[in-house]
Structure 1
């Protein structure tokens, strides 16, 4: 057991030699190295955009980043912890409003406020989960929607935050357009790295093994020593903070928030479509689903209700006939993970006793 523990704690980037066995254990593959290179290139291009891209393209990249992160957070909840939420917009709204209050009412710099405001979703998640954890299945989902609606109704009637008309981020007027684009884009890049990199690090850890066991069978995982209740609470709390981070960045870029926008149920619809179509229970699935949704929204969004019906039918079709989503269909044919979570056993031939200097007799 000590040998296994030492091997598991060794760096995953280098092959691991298994004692007493002609084999090596390796996590990274050729496909993951290509994916890592593309991710580094994408972040570098993203950070350089203020020097060459126009405002419309920058705004689109920030929006896409928000879709990726909010989908990753929902995937953690539904794909691993088994907590299907249709009320994550509650944390988007409260984080956005906290940002505006800190900046407008207390004079905090907006970029600093976008970090400090993440305390509010965490504070909301604790009592919310204390109530919701007693529910299961569809009742839990309905409960999350009720929490979001309560937050929306409260802000709609609270004069301190502008009631139904919302708030404008006046504190950003001290920055020029170029400075705003630069700061918000860099915040988006940091958000992406924290969300995707954090999910990857979590799922590679011993907590990730517990999450995957809990995803497959919570009862069996609990019988093997996994504290299912505690782990679900921690995932719910982490997803609340990550979703709040999306609200802070999105409305920092938009410069205006209202109850109808901040607590819009479409945020949950977007999460469900992205994760179900891309592939639930994987890191790669939300990335694929976010790109697909973003492209479809740009190309067909002008068709309104018809476009939303088609997205709903596509989600339903995936749920019925391809529960692993597009990424699951791809993995059935090609074993090319982008963010490998498993270790692979690489066998090698045993050392031969034949020497090149030996001659047959």
Structure 2
């Protein structure tokens, strides 16, 4: 008796040619950023640092809204918490400022737990408003807290013990680390089994829960991870500024920037964050001097994108050309044919 022919093997593809090229370019970009003190001026380093902060905080918001379905407008709460933690640890306690950057992340992580437990029952606009209220509460607390010098803010005078070149080296390395943690960490997460669950939550939360995905647990973990990422952005950004105040630390502008970047670039994709951040960075550098007209133009651009290109610039590109710089899904190379 002859045996039935075995079905052809199925190969699962997790990487593409464009993806390999993008990873190579990303690695070179990180090395270039880390080596900036040896080829770039201080002004260029500060500009690149701001761009890196835009990318990092936008990716944290993208992870929240684009995958976990948590639309926050108050992530500046954790950015400010990370910044203030750095200043207290380095200036008040006396810990090495570069070590304090890592230690400062403990504060936003700890704060994120009760905040999420307080807000997780809210959905949609109520959750968004709740995150904004929390950020305002954090600002008011810092404004009246003697430990952080209240509304007068704090200066990072301890950085004066380091030369300009040493500070540039530290800022450049921290920029590279920040991108590696936020972008690289998100890419790793989305390619893991947790990433599959997050994509399922993004597509249909009810269906994901019916298939055994622990939606509540994953949303909590993403919220805490995003808080840590925003805290890292705050620590690096305000270390470069050498000064922090409640108004700057908890400025709603950061949430606006993150939302604009993700909406313009494309929500639910790492590529969209990179494109949107570059668009915003260049627009800010070239047109910010126009004042209110500049903000109106950005608002109209966001509205037009939401109406006519809801998937953003990257959505249009990926529809026209079937490619992915940072593929997180799985494809069948030779699917079975019936």
Structure 2 equivalent of residue 240 of structure 1: 227
Query: How far, CA to CA, are the matches of 1:205 and 1:46 in structure 2?
Result: 27
Aligned mate of 2:317, from 330, 344, 358: 330
8 Å CA contact 2:34, 2:175 repeated in 1: no
Say whether residues 1:74 and 2:64 are aligned partners: no
| Alignment coverage as a number of residue pairs | 330
**Segment of structure 1 superposing worse, 153-162 or 106-115:** 153-162
Aligned mate of 1:136, from 120, 123, 130: 123
Structure 2 equivalent of residue 199 of structure 1: 186
Structure 1 equivalent of residue 283 of structure 2: 296
TM-score by length of 2: 0.95
Aligned mate of 2:264, from 267, 271, 277: 277
Structure 2 equivalent of residue 252 of structure 1: 239
Query: How far, CA to CA, are the matches of 2:186 and 2:146 in structure 1?
Result: 38
CA RMSD across the alignment: 1.3
**Segment of structure 1 superposing worse, 305-314 or 264-273:** 305-314
**Residue pairs, 1:163-178, within 5 angstroms:** 163-178=150-165
What is the CA distance between 1:22 and its match in structure 2?
4.9
Say whether residues 1:226 and 2:226 are aligned partners: no
Bigger radius of gyration among the two: 1
| SS of aligned partner of 1:39 | helix
8 Å CA contact 2:71, 2:124 repeated in 1: yes
Query: How far, CA to CA, are the matches of 2:13 and 2:259 in structure 1?
Result: 34
Query: How far, CA to CA, are the matches of 1:52 and 1:184 in structure 2?
Result: 14
What is the CA distance between 1:24 and its match in structure 2?
3.3
TM-score by length of 1: 0.89
Deviations 1:235-275 (A, max 9, x none): 10000001100000101111100011000000000000000
Query: How far, CA to CA, are the matches of 1:158 and 1:22 in structure 2?
Result: 65
What is the CA distance between 1:347 and its match in structure 2?
3.6
What is the CA distance between 1:198 and its match in structure 2?
0.8
Structure 1 equivalent of residue 175 of structure 2: 188
Aligned mate of 1:318, from 305, 313, 318: 305
8 Å CA contact 2:69, 2:202 repeated in 1: yes
**Segment of structure 1 superposing worse, 339-348 or 52-61:** 339-348
Say whether residues 1:25 and 2:16 are aligned partners: no
Structure 2 residues not aligned, in runs of 5+: 1-5
Structure 1 stretches of at least 4 aligned residues deviating more than 6 Å after TM superposition: none
8 Å CA contact 2:35, 2:172 repeated in 1: no
Structure 1 equivalent of residue 80 of structure 2: 93
**Segment of structure 1 superposing worse, 154-163 or 89-98:** 154-163
Deviations 1:269-320 (A, max 9, x none): 0000000000001111111100110010000011111111111111111112
8 Å CA contact 2:267, 2:311 repeated in 1: yes
What is the CA distance between 1:160 and its match in structure 2?
2.1
| SS of aligned partner of 2:289 | helix
Say whether residues 1:124 and 2:111 are aligned partners: yes
| SS of aligned partner of 2:22 | helix
| SS of aligned partner of 2:70 | coil
Aligned mate of 2:141, from 142, 154, 162: 154
Aligned mate of 1:212, from 190, 199, 208: 199
Deviations 1:140-199 (A, max 9, x none): 000000000000011111222121111000111110111001011101101101111111
| SS of aligned partner of 2:11 | strand
| SS of aligned partner of 2:268 | coil
Query: How far, CA to CA, are the matches of 1:234 and 1:347 in structure 2?
Result: 35
